[in-house]
């Protein structure tokens, strides 16, 4: 006797085509030449920062945001580490920066 299968809303045991994890939280590094930094930190100035080689720098060139090569973004003032955030080398993190020196907070947005 033939069987009746309604199969409504079922996927017959196949994996559903859902993405693998959360969407990245940040600004794509590729193609980005400017970011806007908003900071209440004593050492990191707010403003539009520009790409200089492999790092983003404030207008004076004294402060920089770089990727350290080991899943961490780092804000520096001259050669002093000010803040860090864990993330991918492919995205500038919007937020989540751990302040090491100077207090306050730091966020990054697209220019």
Provide the residue ranges of all domains of the chain, joining segments of one domain with +: 28-110
* Burial track 60-79 (b if 16+ CB lie within 10 A, e otherwise): eeebbbebeeeeebbbbbee
- pTM for the model stands at 0.78
Indicate if the pLDDT at residue 4 is higher than 60: no
- Give the pLDDT band (50/70/90) at residue 22: low
Residue 94 contacts residue 26 (beta carbons within 8 Å): yes
> Three-class SS of residue 64?
strand
**pLDDT (mean) for 87-105:** 97
- Give the pLDDT band (50/70/90) at residue 40: very high
Half-sphere exposure for 44 (CA within 13 Å, toward CB): 31
Give the pLDDT score at 8.
Answer: 46
Residue 89 contacts residue 23 (beta carbons within 8 Å): no
**What is the spatial distance between Cα 55 and Cα 75, in angstroms, rounded to a whole number?**
10
């Amino acid at each position: 006797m033939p069987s009746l299968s309604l199969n409504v809303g079922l996927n017959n045991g196949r994996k559903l085509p859902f993405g693998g994890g959360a969407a990245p939280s940040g600004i794509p590094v590729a193609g980005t030449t400017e970011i806007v930094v908003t900071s209440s930190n004593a050492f990191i100035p707010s403003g539009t920062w520009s790409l200089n080689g492999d790092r983003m720098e404030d207008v004076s060139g004294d402060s920089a945001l770089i990727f350290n090569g080991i899943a961490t973004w780092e804000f520096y003032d001259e050669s002093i580490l000010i803040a860090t955030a864990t993330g991918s080398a492919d995205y500038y993190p919007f937020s989540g920066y751990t302040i090491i020196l100077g207090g306050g907070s730091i966020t990054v947005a697209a220019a």
